[in-house]
Amino acid sequence: MWKLCELLLVWASFLAAEVSGADRHSRHDFPSDFVFGAGTSAYQVEGAAKEDGRTLSIFDTYAHSGITRGANGDVACDQYHQYKEDVQLMADTGLEAYRFSISWSRLIPNGRGPINPRGLQYYNNLINELISHGIEPHVTLHHFDLPQALEDEYGGWTSRKIKRDFAAYADVCFREFGNRVRHWTTFNEANIFVLMGYDYGFLPPQRCSPPFGVFNCQRGNSSTEPYLAAHNILLAHASASRLYRTKYQNTQKGYIGFNLLAFYFTPLTNTTEDIVATQRANDFYLGWFADPLMYGDYPEIMKKNVGSRLPSFNRIESRLVKGSTDFLAVNFYFAAKVKDSPWSLDIQLRDYNADIAVKLDFSLKNVTQFEYPVTPWALQGVLEYFKQKYGNPPMYIHESGQRMQRNSTLEDLPRVTCLQEYIGAVLDSLRNGSDTKGYFTWSFLDVFEVLDGYDSGYGLYYVDLDDPDRTRYPKLSAKWYSHFLKGGSVGPDSGSIIDITREYLTSVSPNEALIE
Ligand SMILES: *[C@@H]1O[C@H](CO)[C@@H](O)[C@H](O)[C@H]1NC(C)=O
Ligand SMILES: *[C@@H]1O[C@H](CO)[C@@H](O)[C@H](O)[C@H]1NC(C)=O
Ligand SMILES: *[C@@H]1O[C@H](CO)[C@@H](O)[C@H](O)[C@H]1NC(C)=O
Ligand SMILES: *[C@@H]1O[C@H](CO)[C@@H](O)[C@H](O)[C@H]1NC(C)=O
Ligand SMILES: *[C@@H]1O[C@H](CO)[C@@H](O)[C@H](O)[C@H]1NC(C)=O
């Protein structure tokens, strides 16, 4: 019973909290072609890592390096074997779309050459199952999981050779699945992938060089490789995009986009230096990719600070990259304040972190708290930034969600608050002219997490890892999202959280909601 008392307290504080998202609202306040969904990625959810002809990716190698405290995605949520049940769960929840990624090394083992028929069959099955339940597939081609064979053969994204192999892989996906998939994203969080993977060395492929890496990397060059990998990613994306547009788009009528992680930056103080530094942070984190995609070249400040270490586009490449997206997508979790830090430019051996010449202050994110702070104004700020800086392109929010201790509780009120507030913020942005087309929460299930392994969970559904069947259990947030997706009203004074919580608590046995 103590739990009920605790919940009453939480309700009270929730209702008392100042709500900055839109007022009471429902699904019907959004355009009918706006799409709501939830996401996962191949390595984080599929499992069956060594089954049916799949070969290793750099994500497997990373997960087996011990960095995620012994956890890995070998089995993960076993969606590879349970996709039918999962799609049924999506349909029951009311999801309109599912964002997932294709494992390149499952579809084309070793990265190039013949297609793996069982990999092809799996994605055909998953896509058909989604379509038959009226759920739109939104597909990402690269979610931190380059085939290890290509990493070993020529250094993966640091080599120009990757462009041809990526385009050939994309071609297979468009040809085989494009009659049913209308939303393609070439890269997930390209900015974070190159920064963490090639400068800090703590995401795949774990490359870095002293003194910059967080770990002692065996290979890499933190001064040059982040820029090189980013450049090749942009060229590979542009190649795939041109291919899609010339060969498929007319008949398949789909869209191709690119995904970045966005913080929302605000100056730490109102000094001119910090205000200029904030623009610089936006140029380095977002403009690095968004400027070439929208305008055909890197931001001037990057060319100035990075100098000859920043590759350049020739005229043909620039024309190829410019305009190569139909939409831009962001993953958003928290905001940061920016402080000018010009002395880092005096250091002779520099990396991205020195080139940007700012210090980021994440104090909004309470470090003693596992959960992320909920800052709807920041998500609105991100959407407003793209609207103003890039001429209001069509946007998707591909990830937005709440990190919690994975095994703590199914009564995830902080996640409910997060969803309600951010969805309200998106509605405010739409009403202020943003061309945002969809919102996906991360994640559908509690998946293998990039930094936390299985310590944290972001899912609407808990997955019992001790159970060989990997049984899924709905959290309170799944009930709340379902209520919203089916047209129920949410927001201040709607009473929906209280009603849903009460109903939820009576539907589970007292001990069931607390995970032991
Ligand atoms: C990284 O590349 C730069 C520029 O080519 C070079 O000066 C530096 O020595 C390289 N660092 C390492 C660790 O190889
Ligand atoms: C900066 O100025 C704006 C507008 O006057 C104000 O709202 C904001 O609080 C100030 N920020 C800081 C950090 O002083
Ligand atoms: C951070 O979180 C802890 C634990 O919830 C809380 O005690 C503390 O007051 C918070 N600090 C700030 C600055 O919000
Ligand atoms: C709404 O849009 C206008 C015009 O683009 C802009 O000036 C204003 O800052 C926006 N408001 C918010 C809250 O983003
Ligand atoms: C939940 O997981 C955390 C981190 O792995 C662990 O410290 C804690 O003891 C676990 N709690 C329960 C109730 O199993």
Give the tens place of pLDDT for each residue, 28-45: 999 999 999 999 999 999
Is residue 41 included in any domain, yes or no? no
* 8 Å CB contact between 249 and 324: no
Out of 136, 399, 421, 449, the active site residue is 399
Ligand 5 atom closest to the CA of 515, numbered from 1: 13
Mean pLDDT of 225-250: 98
Q: Where does 63-124 show beta strands of DSSP type E?
A: 97-101
pLDDT confidence band for 21 (50 / 70 / 90): low
Overall number of domains in the chain: 1
Band of pLDDT at residue 191, cut at 50, 70 and 90: very high
CA dihedral for 499, 500, 505, 507, sign (positive or negative): positive
- Ligand 1 atom 1: residue of nearest CA: 221
* DSSP category for residue 345: G
Between 282 and 202, the more confident residue is 282
CA 401 / ligand 5 centre spacing (Å): 21
What confidence score (pLDDT) does residue 214 get? 85
Does the residue 211 lie in any domain?
Answer: no
Structural domain boundaries enclosing 451: 1-33+366-516
Banded pLDDT at 470 (limits 50, 70, 90): very high
pLDDT single digits (tens) 373-417: 999 999 999 999 999 999 999 999 999 999 999 988 899 999 999
Provide the pLDDT for residue 508.
64
Tell me if 49 is assigned to some domain.
no
pLDDT score of 60 more than 90: yes
Closest ligand to 371 CA? 3
Overall pTM > 0.85: yes
**Do 330 and 260 touch, CB atoms closer than 8 A?**
yes
Residue 289 lies in a domain: no
Asked if residues 38 and 442 have their Cβ atoms less than 8 Å apart, the reply is yes
Return the ligand 4 atom nearest residue 428 CA: 13
> Rounded to whole angstroms, how far apart are CA atoms 15 and 497?
10
Centroid of ligand 3 to alpha carbon of 365 (angstroms): 10
Contact at 8 Å (CB) between 96 and 444? Answer: no
* Assigned domain for 7 exists: yes
Question: Of 20, 377, 379, 384, which is best to mutate to test ligand 4, by the most ligand atoms within 8 angstroms of its C-beta?
Answer: 384
Q: Does some domain include residue 237?
A: no
Can the peptide bond before residue 205 be classed as cis, meaning omega within 30 degrees of 0?
yes
Q: Which residues pair with 140 in a beta bridge?
A: 101, 185
Residue 6 has pLDDT above 70, yes or no: no
- What is the percent of the chain with per-residue pLDDT over 70, rounded to a whole number? 91
> Is residue 99 within 8 Å of residue 135, measured between CB atoms?
no
Assigned domain for 2 exists: yes
Question: Is 214 within a domain?
Answer: no
Task: Look at ligand 5, atom 3, and give the residue with the nearest C-alpha.
Answer: 455
Pocket test for ligand 2, best of 265, 269, 270, 363 (most atoms within 8 A of CB): 270
pLDDT of residue 3: 40
Q: Identify whether 189 is a catalytic site residue.
A: yes
| CATH code, 428 | 3.20.20.80
pLDDT-derived band of residue 22, with 50, 70 and 90 as boundaries?
Answer: low
